[in-house]
Amino acid sequence: MKQQSREEQFFMSTEEPEDIQVTRTTDEFIYDNHGKRYIDFNAGWCVGNLGWKRKEIQSKINPAKIPDYIAPGYHYKGWADLAELLASIAPGELQKTVRATGGTEAVEAAMQIAMLYTGRAKFLSVEGSYHGNSIGTLSIGDSENREQYKNLLPNCIKIKPPLDDKAADRVEARLKKKDTAALIMEPVICNLGVMIPGHAFMKRINVLCKRYGTLLVMDEVACGFGRTGKLFACEHFDMEPDILCLAKAITGGAVPMGACMTTAKIADKVLKNGFQFYSTYGWHPLAVGAAIANIRYWIKNKKKIFGNVTALSQRFTDRLSQMKFKKEANVRILGLAIGIDVNDPKYAERIQQKSLKKGLLFTTQENTLTLFPPLTMRQTIAEEGLDILESCL
């Protein structure tokens, strides 16, 4: 039976896959079953930030040298090593980490911690956002899901963009009631076509959360690990989140992992209040090896990686601002998180499909082309990809 009909028969896929059968990934390329090479301006949607098959990470994923599995109820040196490393790179006083298998679980843990710490049950988040696919994380995401699922959590209130001073006023009016457990958002909203909040907004919510006893949760599942030109995007706004959620690029894509970090003070209180978060595969030994190698690589090469990000970011800005889109495009760039609003979803889709045929990969979100190239992409390859994009407008 053909691959496609087997997929139709046996998969419950919620999205139409692209017409490409992936067989191989290296550096900034993906290859299909005919050996065709694609330039990857997607990086698995913020997963392969250091490029694919990075040897420094790959060499540490060696099943022969580590236990097959460790149940959460035992000690494992790798867990302490990784948690300590995360604490050494995280902003503010974030120190203690919950082990998770991915982003959804990390955000779900954050929601549970916030409820137990504050004794409150309400959440505030940004309208239209995405934080995962569990009932809890869908509840703080796009309100359209309310129509679809009847059992989402009540009391999840959304702030409508733009995220400016007026939006901060609305946040204050809400938080004043002192019944909101947490304000949860991506500091740079990759899931809303790379929406970059205003500095004034971010500064105020940082202060407001502290004033009214609401925990500030930064979901850095997509924008963490350098995507926006800082290791964590909340550093652009001098924020000190109470909780940080990580996944995707934490292992560079080699194996799945998630992490939810908080302060010692919050961790101690919620543990006393009965916080229990059990994840059978949370921090599997293979994932721990990959994450440690990934973070060590970051620590050693941070300057070089960010040098490349700055140069490429400028190049994307220059080239994209000169390209002739059908209507004037609104280009949003921070580091290598790139959103190009072309004002028309069908046009966006057409550009993306043409680019795919010519060997360039990226995604679209409604009117917006979203580009997340590896942070280590060579300048010549970026130019080649930009040439393809320009030829498809």
Ligand X SMILES: Cc1ncc(COP(=O)(O)O)c(C=O)c1O
CB of 190 to ligand X, least distance (A): 6
- Near ligand X by CB under 6 A, which window of 127-135, 298-306, 369-377, 380-388? 127-135
Contact criterion met (CB below 8 Å) for 368 and 193: yes
Positive/negative CA dihedral, 89, 190, 260, 27: negative
CB of 257 to ligand X, least distance (A): 9
104 binds ligand X (CB under 6 A): yes
In the complex with ligand X, the residue whose CB is nearer, 226 or 381, is: 226
- Near ligand X by CB under 6 A, which window of 80-88, 99-107, 198-206, 292-300? 99-107
Contact criterion met (CB below 8 Å) for 145 and 158: no
Contact criterion met (CB below 8 Å) for 222 and 186: yes
**How many residues lie near ligand X (CB under 6 A)?**
13
Residues 204-263 that bind ligand X (CB under 6 A): 219, 221-222, 247
Residue with the closest Cβ to ligand X? 103
CB of 156 to ligand X, least distance (A): 15
365 binds ligand X (CB under 6 A): no
The token duo for 132 is 């995962």
In the complex with ligand X, the residue whose CB is nearer, 79 or 130, is: 130
In the complex with ligand X, the residue whose CB is nearer, 47 or 348, is: 47
- Near ligand X by CB under 6 A, which window of 65-73, 102-110, 204-212, 345-353? 102-110
Residues 22-81 that bind ligand X (CB under 6 A): none
107 binds ligand X (CB under 6 A): yes
> Rounded to a whole number, what is the distance in angstroms from the first to the last CA of the chain?
37
User: Got the DSSP string for 214-263?
Assistant: -EEEEE-TTTTTTTTSSSSGGGGGT---SEEEE-GGGTTTSS--EEEEEE
In the complex with ligand X, the residue whose CB is nearer, 104 or 263, is: 104
Q: What is the rounded CA–CA span in Å between residue 258 and residue 379? A: 31
Contact criterion met (CB below 8 Å) for 195 and 128: no
User: How many CB atoms lie under 10 A from the CB of residue 314?
Assistant: 11
CB of 103 to ligand X, least distance (A): 2
User: Reduced to 3 states, what is the DSSP secondary structure of residue 101?
Assistant: coil
109 binds ligand X (CB under 6 A): no
CB of 258 to ligand X, least distance (A): 6
142 binds ligand X (CB under 6 A): no
CB of 322 to ligand X, least distance (A): 30
User: Reduced to 3 states, what is the DSSP secondary structure of residue 109?
Assistant: helix
Contact criterion met (CB below 8 Å) for 229 and 336: yes
What are the C-alpha distances in Å from 385 to residues 18, 22, 84, 320, 352?
18, 19, 39, 12, 12
List residues near ligand X by CB under 6 A. 102-104, 107, 130-132, 186, 191, 219, 221-222, 247
